[in-house]
Chain A
Amino acid sequence: EAGVAQSPRYKIIEKRQSVAFWCNPISGHATLYWYQQILGQGPKLLIQFQNNGVVDDSQLPKDRFSAERLKGVDSTLKIQPAKLEDSAVYLCASSLIAPNTGELFFGEGSRLTVL
Chain B
Amino acid sequence: GENVEQHPSTLSVQEGDSAVIKCTYSDSASNYFPWYKQELGKRPQLIIDIRSNVGEKKDQRIAVTLNKTAKHFSLHITETQPEDSAVYFCAASKGNYQLIWGAGTKLIIKP
Interface residues of A (CB under 8 A from B): 33, 41-45, 48, 50, 55-56, 91, 98-104, 106-109
Contact = CB atoms under 8 A, between A and B. Distances in A.
Given A41-B103, A98-B95, A103 B46 contact: yes
Contacts, number: 54
Contacts of A45: 98-99
Residues of B in contact with A, size category: 20 to 34
Contacts of A108: 43
Interface of B: 31-32, 34, 36, 43-46, 49, 89, 93-99, 101-104
A42 B31 CA distance: 21
B92 to A, nearest CB: 9
**Chain A interface mostly:** mixed
Nearest to A6: B43
A99 B96 contact: yes
Contacts of A101: 32
A100 B29 CA distance: 12
Contacts of A107: 43
